[in-house]
Structure 1
């Protein structure tokens, strides 16, 4: 059995025992390792120390439960493995910058630490061959567009730590931009009916430590721009696509998006000696009761000094 499979067992165990006391010794036994080697391997593969990971996963679950108004905050804390209201409040504020009470009274989009699918770091699939994991179906393909696509919407500068990779916590700035777009979407009459919507991360020209994030919907080329709206053009080129689907839209845009991003950039492109032009595009299609589906589009660029293709 591979090392990552042993650590995945402990990740799954943590999800099942979230409300209980979870000791490192118990997790080490689940993994079949000494406590010393288990903690080293866990941090290496999960990118977080064990206790910090457990705390952040508990907070992620708690933030969902806080939206259930019939549940007391103390009960949420205890159900998620925190010993007291005070301990929970302190941990929540350290992670997100607001208290549980503030979040319940005025919910905002939060970046959550997602449960990892470690197999995605070690499975290199061929193009057009679906990869099925516990929570998503993922496929890599290529597509060429002959005519540039135009989108209209809003943009903002976002800290690089808030990139949608499912590893950081805090207020979700890109998510807030999406909410702003949807609240004003009816005031943009030039949007194509049932047109594709995009979230674009652009590194080029951004201030140090930030990237530009654009949110918008498809419009006809040469559509005039009014007010604070802006347009962005998806250039005609050949793209690598990471296509994935999840059980519902919430799962799609939260943990599935982060897992797909990590797989595309950290595993699939890297193992082929490829990088990309300095932007990536999240393409959102209409979600139905049967499917929640999206794509990540990038233009591949061969890394210098590599012979891989």
Structure 2
């Protein structure tokens, strides 16, 4: 039997249980991944959360039933996994721009914004099929002092957080010789519209927290020791998401390693002059067992 990737297994599970009351927890248990890593997998490769993908697929099925069947709208709503006709109507209008009643009245199958089912071929195509091997390292526990904020799939707020840190605490990076960007594992939350909010921290490694001036009011973080797969991204940061697509969508599918439940993080050892500088370089540390 051909082995399938965790992402393909997740998509297959969703499609087989689409009309049931499933969520991120069910998908995580099916794949053996934590909430955090399943979220990272979907957001990096597909650009959306598990919940938003499930919602879009349910709406796609519902739109077809509105046009090609005579089922009552209330029955379509419940049959497609929505808790109430009102919740179905709100979600449907947000995606299609019209109510289920109006959509059925037009008689046109305008499935434009709701995605169809993803096939294994789709997943492989999205992942780009890039071939690159990471370096594996063992890191000691690392203390990081910096600023904490949030970012999301739809609104990348990290450049602003970095700008604030560099404006007030550039001396820390100069002393350490590196800046750290950390996506925090246990602080991921999900909005009502299906977006994902990631807690993030930017800062620099320090010898200890005790000698930091109290006036700096810096957040503190300890990165746990362990094994990491290290990838290097070069060039404009506009393409950074493509590197994450490769890591979670291609490399992870074929690598004989298992993700560990620690934070992944980025290390900037070169000064970043601009977002699109072709000489940019960042190392991405992925926790593995």
TM range (shorter): 0.3 to 0.5
Q: Give the structure with the higher percent helix.
A: 2
Q: Which has the larger radius of gyration?
A: 2
TM-score where L is the length of structure 1: 0.44
- Between 1 and 2, higher relative CO (CA 8 Å, sep ≥ 6) is seen in 2
